[in-house]
A and B are shown apart, each in its own frame.
Chain A
Amino acid sequence: MPTVAMTVNGKSVAGNVEGRTLLVQFLREHLQLTGTHVGCDTSQCGCCTIHLNGKGVKSCAVLALACEGADVVTIEGLATGGTADVKLHPMQEAFREHHGLQCGFCTPGMIMSAVDMVKRKGHDLDEKAIRKQLEGNICRCTGYHNIVLAVQAGAAAMKGN
């Protein structure tokens, strides 16, 4: 079986995978990083969003082997500190503060997408821009209202970081 090596959340990792192993399977099943979710078979829901070499992508549509040498950040890589003194990323904090979730299944993807959005579009985002930029992420619970509020607040809070 071929091997693949990459950096995930700042750590070097490697594993044996098949040609068909998806990046999301590598993250969840080989590295046990189960914060990245799988919500569909058609690459439409965005639950699997991670950052690949600094860009938001759907890890269910990327092959693990295509990520040889790549730099990957997942939802687990956003917070800082250890279990005792964990400090959430400002975007995670904003989702908590504004209750930007209900069941939470879409939330890791929403947050990774939101951080990517801030990198591309800056910190001052209006509702229209946020809704447009979140088109790749589907939520079946919230109706998006609080998600939009959370992203707006998180984007502003990221200014200081």
Chain B
Amino acid sequence: MYDFAYLKPASLSDAANQLASPDSKLLAGGMSLIPSLKLRLNRYATLVDLGALADLKGIRREGDALVIGAMTPHAEVAASDEVLTVLPALASLAEGIGDPLVRNRGTLGGSIANADPAADYPAAVVGLGASVITNRRTITADDFFKGVFETALQPDEIITAVRFPIPKRAAYAKYRQPASRFALVGVFAVQSANGVRVAVTGAAPSVFRLAAAEAALIKRFAVAALDGITLDTEGLNSDIHASAEYRAHAVVEMTKRAVAAALK
């Protein structure tokens, strides 16, 4: 790992100022950033640690939504009574990330800012039609994820929280890559007052919505409504773990499992 200056600001505005200098990078749980620095995949002059900003941590109910702070670790989301009661699909997604030690450190904000194509949270953010709140603006889920490790965030922008609308029913079905435990394919299916949303992670360079499944499920939210739906392999990921054909098949299967679980 190349050396860098380490800063731990005490306020969000200090963090924003420190981040504005060139070659600065935010540090949250460090579960993605530090391994990548150790492999010298990246190099920064300064790391700005958000660890002292207590306001960025926590889970609260706001009307018909759950607002979760960017620095809330996965383990807290997984164990939160509030999340388990009103949005159990999100708690179970968090409980399925990596392993317990990673879940004790890794954060919601870090996960979505990182935008790993195989990460779990992006499926929940897009599936639930969440809003990503930053120190400058609110970004809708459909506008947030832009590509492989790419988001709508400016280099000096800080996610403060994510607002998840509470749906009528939802579930996440994940087909784990057994070695990394990331999603080979993960599908988050949601039925809410605004309709149906199906978000897929792991299958393509970035999370995407499965329009054919949404159209079928809006008529009838049932596993059988998905019969005959297929997915074009064009643009899907293909690697040593799974071909594009395999992933296309897994997406449909995981969508069925997510719908079945949501109906339980």
Binding site for B on A (CB under 8 A): 2, 18-20, 22, 41-44, 46, 49, 55-58, 60-63, 65-66, 68, 113, 116-117, 120, 133, 135-137
Contacts and interface: CB of A to CB of B under 8 A. Distances in A.
10 A-B pairs with the lowest CB-CB distances in the bound complex, closest first: A136-B99, A19-B6, A135-B99, A136-B101, A55-B104, A65-B6, A61-B34, A20-B1, A19-B4, A20-B3
Given A57-B104, A113-B101, A66 B30 contact: yes
A58 B102 contact: yes
Given A58-B102, A61-B31, A61-B34, 14 more contacts: A20-B1, A22-B34, A43-B34, A44-B180, A56-B100, A56-B101, A57-B104, A60-B38, A62-B30, A66-B30, A135-B100, A136-B101, A136-B102, A137-B99
A61 B6 contact: no
Interface string B18-39: 0000000001001100110111
A49 B4 CA distance: 24
Interface string B35-57: 10111000000010101000000
24 contacts: A19-B4, A19-B47, A20-B37, A41-B35, A41-B38, A41-B39, A43-B31, A43-B34, A49-B101, A55-B104, A56-B104, A57-B101, A57-B104, A61-B31, A63-B6, A63-B47, A65-B8, A66-B8, A68-B8, A133-B100, A135-B98, A135-B99, A136-B98, A136-B100
A66 B7 CA distance: 9
Nearest to B99: A136
Contacts of B249: none
Size class of the contact patch on chain B: 20 to 34
A61 B47 contact: no
A120 B47 CA distance: 31
B181 interface: yes
Nearest to A18: B3
B146 interface: no
A20 B104 CA distance: 21
Contact of B100 (A65, A66, A120): A120
Contact of A43 (B5, B27, B47, B102): B102
Contacts of A135: 98-100, 181
B66 to A, nearest CB: 22
A13 to B, nearest CB: 18
Nearest to A56: B101
Given A20-B37, A43-B34, A43-B35, A116 B8 contact: no
Contacts of B5: 19
Nearest to B1: A20
A116 B100 contact: yes
A139 B30 CA distance: 24
B61 interface: no
B101 A46 contact: yes
